Structure 1
Amino acid sequence: MSDQPTFIHRLSPEEVAGFAAAAPDGPLAGTTFAIKDNIDLAGVPTTAADPRRTTPAVVSATAVQRLLGAGAVPVGKTNMDQYATGLVGTRSPYGACHSVYSLDHVSGGSSSGSAVAVAAGEAEFALATDTAGSGRVPAAFNGLVGVKPSKGLVPTTGVVPACASLDCVTIMARTVARGREVLAVIAGPDPLDPWSRTLEQRATPERPVVAVPAGDLDLDPLHQAAWELSVERARALWEVVEVDVSAFLEAATLLYGGPWVAERRLAFGDLLTDDPAVDPTVRAIVAGSPPVSAVEAFAAFHRLAALDAATRSVWAGADALLLPVTAAHPTLAEVAADPIGVNSRLGRFTNMTNLLDLCAVAFPGPVRGDGLPFGVQLLAPAGGDLALLDLAASWCGEEPARPAGGDRIDLVVAGAHLAGEPLNADLVARGGRFVRSARMESDYRMYVVDGPLPRPGVTRLPAGEPGEPTALAVEVWSLPATALAGFQATIAPPLGLGQVDLADGTRVLGFLCSADGVDPARDITAYGGWRAWRASLA
Structure 2
Amino acid sequence: MSTPTLTRVRMAYARIEAADRPEVWIDLRPQQEVESEARSIDARVAAGEQLPLAGQLFAAKGNIDVQGLPTTAGCPAYAYTPEADAPVVARLRAAGAIALGTTNLDQFATGLVGTRSPYGAVRGAYDPQRISGGSSAGSAVAVALGLVDFALGTDTAGSGRVPAAFNGIVGIKPTRGLVPTTGVVPACASLDCVTVFARTLPEAERALSYMASPSARELPPLPQRAPGPWRVAVAALSQLGELDDGWGEAYEAAVARLRDAGAELRTLDLTPFTEAAAMLYEGAFVAERYTAVGDFVDKLIAEGGAGLDPTVAGIITRARDIPAHRLFADQDRLAALRTRALAELGDADALMLPTAPGHPTLAEVAADPLGTNARLGRFTNSTNLFDLAAVAVPAGEVAGLPFGVMLIGPAFTDERLARIAALLQPRLRVAVVGAHLSGQPLNPQLLALGATLDRTTTTAPVYRLHALPTVPPKPGLVHVGEGGAAIEAEVWRLPAEGLGRLLAALPRPMALGQVELADGSSVPGFLCEPAALPDAPDITTHGGWRAYLIR
TM-score clears 0.5: yes
Asked if the contact 1:201/1:386 (under 8 Å) is kept, the reply is no
Bigger fraction of residues in helix: 2
Asked if the contact 1:132/1:350 (under 8 Å) is kept, the reply is yes
Looking at structure 1, the residues matched to 218 and 208 of structure 2 have their Cα atoms a distance apart, in angstroms, of 14
Shift of residue 206 of structure 1?
Answer: 5.0
Looking at structure 2, the residues matched to 314 and 404 of structure 1 have their Cα atoms a distance apart, in angstroms, of 40
Asked if the contact 1:201/1:384 (under 8 Å) is kept, the reply is no
Looking at structure 2, the residues matched to 306 and 187 of structure 1 have their Cα atoms a distance apart, in angstroms, of 30
Q: Could you tell me which residue of structure 2 aligns to residue 102 of structure 1?
A: 127
Query: Are residues 1:240 and 2:258 paired?
Result: no
Q: Could you tell me which residue of structure 2 aligns to residue 392 of structure 1?
A: 421
Map residues 73-472 of structure 1 onto 2, 5 A cutoff.
73-188=98-213, 196-199=216-219, 207-216=229-238, 217-218=240-241, 219-237=243-261, 238-272=263-297, 273-274=300-301, 275-289=305-319, 291-368=321-398, 370-397=399-426, 405-407=438-440
Q: Could you tell me which residue of structure 1 aligns to residue 20 of structure 2?
A: 2
* SS at structure 2 position matched to 1:49: coil
Q: Which amino acid aligns with 1:315?
A: L
Asked if the contact 1:126/1:173 (under 8 Å) is kept, the reply is yes
Q: Could you tell me which residue of structure 1 aligns to residue 542 of structure 2?
A: none
TM-score (norm 2): 0.70
1:487-509 superposed Cα distances (whole Å, 9 cap, x missing partner): xxxxxxxxxxxxxxxxxxxxxxx
Q: What 5-or-longer segments of structure 1 have no aligned partner?
A: 191-195, 410-427, 434-538
Q: Could you tell me which residue of structure 1 aligns to residue 502 of structure 2?
A: none
Moved more, 146-155 or 312-321: 312-321
2:61 aligned to 29, 36, 50, which one? 36
1:123-154 superposed Cα distances (whole Å, 9 cap, x missing partner): 00000000000000000000000000000000
Q: Which amino acid aligns with 1:389?
A: A
TM-score (norm 1): 0.72
Shift of residue 4 of structure 1?
Answer: 4.5
Looking at structure 2, the residues matched to 88 and 124 of structure 1 have their Cα atoms a distance apart, in angstroms, of 23
Which structure is larger by alpha-carbon Rg, 1 or 2?
2
Looking at structure 2, the residues matched to 309 and 277 of structure 1 have their Cα atoms a distance apart, in angstroms, of 42
Looking at structure 2, the residues matched to 4 and 372 of structure 1 have their Cα atoms a distance apart, in angstroms, of 22
Looking at structure 2, the residues matched to 404 and 186 of structure 1 have their Cα atoms a distance apart, in angstroms, of 30
Asked if the contact 2:391/2:418 (under 8 Å) is kept, the reply is yes
Looking at structure 2, the residues matched to 17 and 201 of structure 1 have their Cα atoms a distance apart, in angstroms, of 47
Shift of residue 315 of structure 1?
Answer: 2.9
Q: Could you tell me which residue of structure 2 aligns to residue 62 of structure 1?
A: 87
Looking at structure 2, the residues matched to 27 and 149 of structure 1 have their Cα atoms a distance apart, in angstroms, of 21
Evaluate the alpha carbon distance shift between residue 201 and residue 387 of structure 1 in structure 2; reply closer, same or farther with a 3 A threshold: farther
* SS at structure 2 position matched to 1:288: helix
Q: Could you tell me which residue of structure 1 aligns to residue 452 of structure 2?
A: none
Which structure ranks higher in relative contact order (CA pairs < 8 Å, sequence separation ≥ 6)?
1
Q: Which amino acid aligns with 1:394?
A: L
Q: How many residues align?
A: 406
Shift of residue 54 of structure 1?
Answer: 3.6
Shift of residue 189 of structure 1?
Answer: 5.5
1:345-364 superposed Cα distances (whole Å, 9 cap, x missing partner): 00000000000000000000
Looking at structure 2, the residues matched to 169 and 297 of structure 1 have their Cα atoms a distance apart, in angstroms, of 25
Q: Could you tell me which residue of structure 1 aligns to residue 51 of structure 2?
A: 26
Shift of residue 407 of structure 1?
Answer: 4.5
Asked if the contact 1:45/1:53 (under 8 Å) is kept, the reply is no
* SS at structure 1 position matched to 2:175: coil
Looking at structure 2, the residues matched to 104 and 318 of structure 1 have their Cα atoms a distance apart, in angstroms, of 39
Shift of residue 13 of structure 1?
Answer: 1.1
Asked if the contact 2:156/2:188 (under 8 Å) is kept, the reply is yes
Evaluate the alpha carbon distance shift between residue 391 and residue 200 of structure 1 in structure 2; reply closer, same or farther with a 3 A threshold: farther
Q: Which amino acid aligns with 1:374?
A: F
Shift of residue 313 of structure 1?
Answer: 2.0
Looking at structure 2, the residues matched to 378 and 348 of structure 1 have their Cα atoms a distance apart, in angstroms, of 15
Looking at structure 1, the residues matched to 380 and 448 of structure 2 have their Cα atoms a distance apart, in angstroms, of 32
Looking at structure 2, the residues matched to 120 and 200 of structure 1 have their Cα atoms a distance apart, in angstroms, of 39
Shift of residue 116 of structure 1?
Answer: 0.6
Shift of residue 199 of structure 1?
Answer: 3.2
1:255-304 superposed Cα distances (whole Å, 9 cap, x missing partner): 11122211100000112232120100001111123622222111100000
Evaluate the alpha carbon distance shift between residue 320 and residue 404 of structure 1 in structure 2; reply closer, same or farther with a 3 A threshold: farther
Evaluate the alpha carbon distance shift between residue 385 and residue 200 of structure 1 in structure 2; reply closer, same or farther with a 3 A threshold: farther
1:36-61 superposed Cα distances (whole Å, 9 cap, x missing partner): 01000112110001111343210000
Q: What 5-or-longer segments of structure 2 have no aligned partner?
A: 1-18, 45-49, 430-435, 450-551
Asked if the contact 1:86/1:110 (under 8 Å) is kept, the reply is yes
CA-atom RMSD in angstroms: 2.4
Q: Which amino acid aligns with 1:208?
A: W
Looking at structure 2, the residues matched to 201 and 228 of structure 1 have their Cα atoms a distance apart, in angstroms, of 34
Q: Could you tell me which residue of structure 2 aligns to residue 530 of structure 1?
A: none
Evaluate the alpha carbon distance shift between residue 330 and residue 361 of structure 1 in structure 2; reply closer, same or farther with a 3 A threshold: same
Asked if the contact 1:125/1:174 (under 8 Å) is kept, the reply is yes
1:154-178 superposed Cα distances (whole Å, 9 cap, x missing partner): 0001000010000000000001001
Looking at structure 1, the residues matched to 260 and 196 of structure 2 have their Cα atoms a distance apart, in angstroms, of 28
Moved more, 252-261 or 344-353: 252-261
Evaluate the alpha carbon distance shift between residue 328 and residue 432 of structure 1 in structure 2; reply closer, same or farther with a 3 A threshold: closer
Asked if the contact 1:98/1:105 (under 8 Å) is kept, the reply is yes
1:423-453 superposed Cα distances (whole Å, 9 cap, x missing partner): xxxxx9xx999xxxxxxxxxxxxxxxxxxxx
Asked if the contact 2:144/2:169 (under 8 Å) is kept, the reply is yes
Q: Could you tell me which residue of structure 2 aligns to residue 439 of structure 1?
A: none
Asked if the contact 1:188/1:198 (under 8 Å) is kept, the reply is no
Shift of residue 316 of structure 1?
Answer: 1.8
Evaluate the alpha carbon distance shift between residue 315 and residue 224 of structure 1 in structure 2; reply closer, same or farther with a 3 A threshold: closer
